[in-house]
Amino acid sequence: MQIHLDEAICTLPDKMRACFMLFAIEGFKQNEIAGMLDVTVGTVKSHIFQAKEKLKQALKGELANI
Protein backbone atom coordinates (compact mmCIF):
# COMPACT_ATOMS: atom_id res chain seq x y z
CA MET A 1 0.00 0.00 0.00
CA GLN A 2 2.80 2.40 0.94
CA ILE A 3 4.65 1.46 -2.25
CA HIS A 4 1.56 2.13 -4.34
CA LEU A 5 1.10 5.53 -2.76
CA ASP A 6 4.78 6.31 -3.24
CA GLU A 7 4.54 5.41 -6.91
CA ALA A 8 1.37 7.46 -7.31
CA ILE A 9 3.02 10.49 -5.69
CA CYS A 10 5.90 10.18 -8.16
CA THR A 11 3.48 10.56 -11.06
CA LEU A 12 2.18 13.95 -9.80
CA PRO A 13 3.37 17.18 -11.45
CA ASP A 14 6.34 18.80 -9.69
CA LYS A 15 4.58 21.70 -7.95
CA MET A 16 1.61 19.56 -6.98
CA ARG A 17 3.89 16.84 -5.63
CA ALA A 18 5.91 19.36 -3.67
CA CYS A 19 2.78 20.89 -2.10
CA PHE A 20 1.30 17.52 -1.21
CA MET A 21 4.53 16.12 0.25
CA LEU A 22 5.22 19.22 2.31
CA PHE A 23 1.65 19.23 3.61
CA ALA A 24 0.80 15.55 4.05
CA ILE A 25 4.19 13.97 4.72
CA GLU A 26 6.32 16.73 6.27
CA GLY A 27 3.43 18.35 8.14
CA PHE A 28 3.91 21.99 7.12
CA LYS A 29 0.94 24.40 7.14
CA GLN A 30 -0.45 25.70 3.88
CA ASN A 31 0.75 29.27 4.44
CA GLU A 32 4.26 27.99 5.26
CA ILE A 33 4.32 26.01 2.02
CA ALA A 34 3.16 29.08 0.14
CA GLY A 35 6.10 31.00 1.60
CA MET A 36 8.54 28.25 0.73
CA LEU A 37 7.38 27.85 -2.86
CA ASP A 38 6.69 31.55 -3.37
CA VAL A 39 3.04 31.00 -4.40
CA THR A 40 -0.32 32.04 -2.92
CA VAL A 41 -2.10 30.01 -0.25
CA GLY A 42 -4.96 29.48 -2.73
CA THR A 43 -2.57 27.86 -5.19
CA VAL A 44 -1.26 25.58 -2.46
CA LYS A 45 -4.82 24.59 -1.49
CA SER A 46 -5.66 23.91 -5.11
CA HIS A 47 -2.53 21.79 -5.63
CA ILE A 48 -3.21 19.78 -2.49
CA PHE A 49 -6.87 19.23 -3.45
CA GLN A 50 -5.94 18.07 -6.96
CA ALA A 51 -3.17 15.88 -5.63
CA LYS A 52 -5.55 14.16 -3.22
CA GLU A 53 -8.07 13.57 -5.98
CA LYS A 54 -5.43 12.05 -8.24
CA LEU A 55 -4.03 9.87 -5.50
CA LYS A 56 -7.48 8.62 -4.54
CA GLN A 57 -8.03 7.74 -8.16
CA ALA A 58 -4.68 5.96 -8.32
CA LEU A 59 -5.32 3.96 -5.19
CA LYS A 60 -8.97 3.32 -6.16
CA GLY A 61 -10.58 1.04 -3.59
CA GLU A 62 -7.40 0.40 -1.58
CA LEU A 63 -8.09 3.21 0.87
CA ALA A 64 -11.44 1.68 1.80
CA ASN A 65 -9.65 -1.47 3.03
CA ILE A 66 -7.52 0.38 5.55
Partner 1 sequence: MTEQCEFYKKHELGQIDDIEFDKHLQSCEFCKAVSAEDAKLLELAQSLKQPIGPDNVWERLESDLSKEKSKNIIYLLFANNKVLIRIAAVLLIGAAIGFYFVQNNQIPDKGVVTMSMLEKLDEKEQDYLESIEELEAVTQEKMEQMDIGLMLLYRDKLEMIDEQISECKEALSDNPANAHIHKYLFAALKEKKETLKEIYKIETNKLNEDS
Interface positions with partner 1 (CB under 8 A): 1-3, 5-6, 9, 20, 24-27, 41-42, 45-46, 48-49, 52, 55-56, 59, 63-64, 66
**Based on CB atoms, which residue is closest to partner 1, 38 or 65?**
65
Question: Contact 58/16 with Cβ under 8 angstroms?
Answer: no
CB of 47 to partner 1, least distance (A): 11
Question: Contact 15/37 with Cβ under 8 angstroms?
Answer: yes
Residue type, 56: K
**Residue 28 buriedness (CB in 10 A; 0-12 / 13-18 / 19+):** middle
CB of 38 to partner 1, least distance (A): 18
CB of 2 to partner 1, least distance (A): 5
